[in-house]
Amino acid sequence: MKIDLSGKTALVTGASRGIGRATALELARAGANLIVSARSVNELEQLQLELQQLGVKALAVPCDVLDDNSLKELEARASEFGGVDILVNNAGITQGVKFVDTSLELWTKIQRINVDAAMRLMQLTLEDMAQKKWGRVINIASIAAKHGLRYSAAYNASKHALLGLTRSVALDYAKTGVTVNAVCPGWVSTEMVEQTVQNIMQKTGRSREDAIASLVKDVPMGRMVTPEEVANLVVFLASNQAAAITGQGLNIDGGTVMS
Ligand code: NAP
């Protein structure tokens, strides 16, 4: 099975590091042109160069997904670049905090970045995809979309919402050639998890090795997933080979069995 995304253009949010950066690079290796977005301008410009060195067209567009004007500007720049065939809603944040201490401000910020931005970018791109009779939306949710996790109520609620949104929008577009899916990673070795590791070390006095071991103790494979492994699942969902998959939340989590 050879995946060929040449002639397609992908927009990846949260592309400055971690899963988003790895996803942009793997999509480019499959031949897609890339629009990469995040707030960190230097990291984006560096990524743009790396993508161009892979032989594809690439455009870096700084954007804060908390700002609706910034999202509209991103969509406008993407249209000038030729439009979006593959939308990867990856930008996301988390913060470990007890439910009772979760301020309305933190709650709202997490929902706006993790859910509202994905909703807006889908609204801004899906109709064009449907007109072209081909499109892919891949929302980076989490296994937190499928079960509860302590000290993570706002994040879990946002990821449950993102998966619900994915399932419903997939039905709206099911007959148009556009698929809408979610990827649900478990622990992935990125800066986001590094913050969690640091928190555990600070709060419990554990070593770094022990803090990581405590995170992966319930993972059957006994390890974290790599950003590249998540990226490869995204590339598959973006491919023609995945045309019959829509409305799904695909786990990539080292073997935890759940629905
Ligand atoms: P990360 O390394 O912290 O990267 C997060 C990305 O989101 C960065 O590129 C960041 O870019 C961007 N971002 C954050 N706030 C933003 C804002 N207001 N506007 C625009 N971009 C913003 O995290 P990651 O682990 O790669 O996570 C990527 C996605 O995977 C997230 O949705 C996360 O919830 C999900 N996920 C991660 C894990 C995991 O274990 N790591 C597991 C399940 C799901 P700037 O700071 O440059 O703006």
Confidence at residue 256, expressed as pLDDT on a 0 to 100 scale: 83
What is the pLDDT, as a whole number, of residue 234? Answer: 99
Decide: 31 and 6 in contact? Cβ < 8 Å: yes
- Three-state SS for 9? strand
Nearest Cα residue to 141 out of 95, 86, 181, 193: 181
How many angstroms separate the alpha carbon of residue 258 from the centre of ligand 1?
Answer: 24
User: 155 catalytic, yes or no?
Assistant: yes
Domain boundaries defined on the chain: 9-186+226-252, 187-224
Closest ligand 1 atom number to CA of residue 91: 7
pTM > 0.85: yes or no: yes
Q: Find out whether the beta carbon of 188 lies less than 6 Å from any atom of ligand 1.
A: yes
End-to-end Cα spacing for the chain:
27
Q: What are phi and psi of 85, to 5 degrees?
A: -100, -30
For residue 1, what pLDDT is reported?
83
Give CA–CA dist 84/9, Å, rounded: 5
Ligand 1 proximity of 44 Cβ (cutoff 6 Å): no
From the CB of 115, is ligand 1 less than 6 Å away? no
Q: Measuring from atom 36 of ligand 1, which residue has the nearest CA?
A: 142
Closest C-alpha among 101, 27, 89 to residue 58: 27
Q: Do 86 and 10 touch, CB atoms closer than 8 A?
A: yes
For residue 192, how far is its CA from the centre of ligand 1 (angstroms)?
7
Question: What is residue 258's predicted lDDT score, i.e. its pLDDT?
Answer: 64
Give 93 Cα–ligand 1 centroid separation in angstroms: 5
14 CB within 6 A, ligand 1: yes
Q: Which one of 44, 137, 155, 185 is the catalytic residue?
A: 155
What is the third-level CATH fold of 9-186+226-252?
A: Rossmann fold (3.40.50)
Find out whether the beta carbon of 16 lies less than 6 Å from any atom of ligand 1.
Answer: yes
The finding on whether 145 has its CB within 6 A of some atom of ligand 1 is: no
What the block records as the tokens of 156 is 């879990």
Q: Is 62 helix (H, G, I), strand (E, B) or coil?
A: strand
Distance 100 CA to ligand 1 centre (A): 24
17 lines ligand 1 (CB under 6 A): yes
Length of the chain: 259
Cβ-contact 33, 56 below 8 angstroms: yes
Q: Which residues on adjacent β-strands are paired with residue 232?
A: none
Ligand 1 midpoint to CA 13 (Å): 9
Q: Going residue by residue through the chain (259 aa), what tens digit of pLDDT does each one get?
A: 899 999 999 999 999 999 999 999 999 999 999 999 999 999 999 999 999 999 999 999 999 999 999 999 999 999 999 999 999 999 999 998 999 999 999 999 999 999 999 999 999 999 999 999 999 999 999 999 999 989 999 999 999 999 999 999 999 999 999 999 999 999 999 999 999 999 899 989 999 999 999 999 999 999 999 999 999 999 999 999 999 999 999 999 999 866 5
Q: Are 239 and 26 in contact (CB under 8 A)?
A: no
For the sheet with 178-185, list strands across it: 58-62, 33-38, 9-12, 86-89, 135-140, 178-185, 249-252
